[in-house]
C-alpha cells in the first residue's frame, strides 16, 4: 500500500470509532433518561403512598389540610377526659361514643378545631374492672371515615380497629359496635393505664384530637390517696385564621401549642394535695410527639409501664413519654409549696412562642 492509501484507512478507522462512541453516549443518555423517568415515577408513587394509603384513603393534600370550620360548634363541655357513663345489659357494660368535630378552647380566647370523642379533648375516660365485658357503640359524625383501636387491650381480632384489615372503615353517618372483655395484652398485667384512638389516617385524626384514656382497674387496687390521668397533646394552630392542621414531624407542620388534658398552661388544672398524701399520675403519650416529663421538688416512682406493673419499680424525676406510651408515676407529697410538673423541652412550654405555657401544671401541696 502507498502512503495515501494508509492515510485513508487510518482516517476511516478514526471516523468509525468516533461514530461508535457517539452511539454509545446516546444510548447512555437515553438509559439515564429512562432511569430518571422511572425514579420520578417511583418518587411520585411514594409521595402518593405517604399522603394516602389503602388504610387511609386520603390524598397528601387532604392529609395535611386544615380541619373544616364550617358549621362546627363550640364545645359544650369545658373539661376533657371525664369518666364516661354506661348502661348495663346483662353482664355487659354499654358505652356510646360519637366521633365529631368541635371548636375546643385550649386557652381563654384560643380555640382549636378538634376531632373528638363525645365533644371533648381528650375524649372521655372509659374505666372498667379487670375482665369486664364491654360493648362500645361508635357513631361517626366526622366528614371522613374512621375506626377505633383499643391500645394495649387483648381484643378479638375483628375488634382491633384496623381499617381494611380487621374491619371496613366506619363511614360518615354510620356506626360500628365493638365488643370485648377488658383484658390487657400482657399476661402479667391485671389492669392499668391504656388508651383508645383512631387508626384511620392516624397521624391526621389523632393529631386533630381522636385519643382518650382507657383504665382497667385491677382486682387488688394499690393504695394511693389521689389519682390523676394526664394525656399529653400538641396542636398546629393558626391563631389568626383559626385553621387547625394535624401536627407532624415535618417542616411547616410542627406544633405551636401544647396541652395537658386539652388545656395549655395557665389553663391547665392544678393538682391539689395535702402533705403526706400518695399521688398516682397516669401519664399517656396521647398524640404524636415525645415529651420528657419532669417533677420539681420531689421524685416519683415509676410503678407501671404500658399498663403492666414493673417487677422492679424505679425512682426518677424525668420520664420520656413517647406517643402511645403510658407510665404510672407514684409520689408522696412530702414538701409544701407549688411544684411544677412539665415537659422539659423548652418549646413545649410555650403558647405560639409565648411562655410560660403549654405542657405545665402545678402540684399544690398544702
Using DSSP, state whether 188 is helix, strand or coil: coil
Same domain, 255 and 274: yes
What integer best gives the mean pLDDT of the chain? Answer: 88
CATH number at residue 116: 2.60.40.420
Q: Is 294 exposed, middle or buried (0-12, 13-18, 19+ CB in 10 A)?
A: middle
- DSSP-derived letter for residue 66 is P
Residue range 101-119: average pLDDT? 98
Q: Can you spell out the DSSP letters for 266-327?
A: TSSPPEEE-TT-EEEEEEEE-SSS-EEEEESSS-EEEEEETTEEEEEEEEESEEEE-TT-EE
Last residue of a domain, one of 222, 240, 265: 222
Place of cell 390524598: 59
Same domain, 253 and 360: yes
pLDDT for the residue numbered 22: 45
d(CA 322, CA 293): 10
Last residue of a domain, one of 222, 244, 279: 222
Domain range for 101: 87-222
Residue range 184-188: average pLDDT? 95
pLDDT for the residue numbered 63: 83
Overall number of domains in the chain: 2
Same domain, 234 and 182: no
Residue range 334-355: average pLDDT? 97
Same domain, 145 and 255: no
Is 23 contained in some domain? Answer: no
Same domain, 104 and 171: yes
Is the C-alpha dihedral spanning 153, 158, 163, 169 positive or negative? negative
Is 171 contained in some domain? Answer: yes
Same domain, 195 and 249: no
Is the C-alpha dihedral spanning 161, 167, 173, 177 positive or negative? negative
Contact by Cβ (8 Å): 106, 235: yes
Residue range 292-313: average pLDDT? 97
- Quickly state the pLDDT bin for 57 (edges 50, 70, 90): low
Residue range 62-83: average pLDDT? 95
Higher pLDDT, 337 or 64: 337
Q: Does residue 33 register a pLDDT over 50? A: no
Nearest to 286 by CA among 177, 226, 205, 340: 205
Phi, psi of 213 (to 5 degrees): -80, 150
Q: Does residue 187 register a pLDDT over 70? A: yes
pLDDT for the residue numbered 351: 98
CA gyration radius, the chain: 28
Q: Is 211 exposed, middle or buried (0-12, 13-18, 19+ CB in 10 A)?
A: buried
Same domain, 188 and 118: yes
Same domain, 175 and 302: no
Last residue of a domain, one of 222, 251, 271: 222
Higher pLDDT, 54 or 350: 350
Same domain, 241 and 361: yes
Is 130 contained in some domain? Answer: yes
Is 24 contained in some domain? Answer: no
Same domain, 119 and 184: yes
Q: Does residue 346 register a pLDDT over 80? A: yes
Output the CA–CA distances (angstroms, integers) from residue 257 to 129, 328, 351, in the order listed. 35, 25, 5
- 359: its cell numbers: 405542657
pTM of the model: 0.84
- 267: its cell numbers: 389553663
pLDDT for the residue numbered 252: 86
Is 235 contained in some domain? Answer: yes
Using DSSP, state whether 217 is helix, strand or coil: strand
Worst-scoring range by mean pLDDT, 52-66, 123-137, 181-195?
Answer: 52-66
Same domain, 215 and 278: no
Worst-scoring range by mean pLDDT, 24-28, 228-232, 257-261?
Answer: 24-28
d(CA 147, CA 153): 16
Is 64 contained in some domain? Answer: no
Same domain, 202 and 110: yes
Is 20 contained in some domain? Answer: no
pLDDT for the residue numbered 60: 54
d(CA 126, CA 200): 20
Is 273 contained in some domain? Answer: yes
Worst-scoring range by mean pLDDT, 57-71, 103-117, 243-257, 348-362?
Answer: 57-71
pLDDT for the residue numbered 225: 96
Q: % helix / strand / coil in the chain, to the nearest 5?
A: 15, 40, 40
Output the CA–CA distances (angstroms, integers) from residue 271 to 66, 237, 286, 294, in the order listed. 34, 27, 20, 15
Amino acid at each position: 500500500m502507498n502512503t495515501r492509501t494508509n492515510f485513508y484507512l487510518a482516517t476511516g478507522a478514526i471516523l468509525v470509532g468516533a461514530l461508535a462512541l457517539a452511539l454509545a453516549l446516546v444510548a447512555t443518555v437515553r438509559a439515564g433518561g429512562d432511569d430518571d423517568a422511572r425514579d420520578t415515577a417511583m418518587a411520585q408513587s411514594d409521595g402518593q403512598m405517604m399522603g394516602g394509603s389503602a388504610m387511609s384513603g386520603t390524598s397528601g393534600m387532604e392529609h395535611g389540610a386544615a380541619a373544616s370550620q364550617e358549621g362546627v360548634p363550640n364545645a359544650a363541655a369545658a373539661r376533657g377526659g371525664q369518666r364516661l357513663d354506661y348502661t348495663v345489659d346483662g353482664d355487659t357494660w354499654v358505652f356510646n361514643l360519637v366521633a365529631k368535630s368541635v371548636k375546643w378552647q385550649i386557652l381563654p380566647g384560643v380555640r382549636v378545631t378538634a376531632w373528638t370523642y363525645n365533644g371533648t379533648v381528650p375524649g372521655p375516660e372509659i374505666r372498667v374492672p379487670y375482665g369486664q365485658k364491654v360493648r362500645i357503640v361508635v357513631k361517626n359524625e366526622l366528614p371522613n371515615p374512621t375506626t377505633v383501636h383499643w391500645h394495649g387491650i387483648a381484643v378479638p381480632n375483628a375488634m382491633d380497629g384496623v381499617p381494611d384489615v380487621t374491619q371496613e372503615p366506619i363511614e360518615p353517618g354510620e356506626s360500628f359496635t365493638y365488643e370485648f372483655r377488658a383484658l390487657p395484652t400482657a399476661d402479667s398485667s391485671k389492669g392499668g393505664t391504656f388508651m383508645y384512638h383512631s387508626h384511620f389516617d392516624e397521624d391526621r385524626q389523632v393529631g386533630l384530637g381522636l385519643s382518650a384514656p382507657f383504665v382497667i382497674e385491677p382486682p387488688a387496687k394499690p393504695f394511693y390517696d389521689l389519682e390523676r390521668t394526664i394525656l399529653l397533646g400538641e396542636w398546629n394552630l393558626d391563631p389568626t385564621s383559626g385553621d387547625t392542621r394535624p401536627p407532624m414531624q415535618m417542616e411547616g407542620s410542627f406544633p405551636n401549642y401544647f396541652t395537658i388534658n386539652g388545656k395549655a398552661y395557665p389553663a391547665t388544672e392544678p393538682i391539689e394535695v395535702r402533705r403526706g398524701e400518695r399521688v398516682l399520675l397516669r401519664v399517656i403519650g396521647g398524640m404524636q410527639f415525645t415529651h420528657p416529663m419532669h417533677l420539681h421538688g420531689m421524685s416519683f416512682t415509676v410503678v407501671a409501664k404500658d399498663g403492666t406493673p414493673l417487677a422492679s419499680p424505679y425512682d426518677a424525676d424525668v420520664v420520656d413519654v413517647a406517643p402511645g406510651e403510658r407510665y404510672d408515676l407514684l409520689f408522696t407529697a412530702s414538701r409544701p409549696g407549688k411544684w411544677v410538673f412539665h415537659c422539659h423541652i423548652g418549646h413545649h412550654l410555650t403558647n405560639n412562642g409565648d411562655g410560660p405555657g403549654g405542657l405545665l401544671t402545678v402540684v399544690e401541696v398544702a
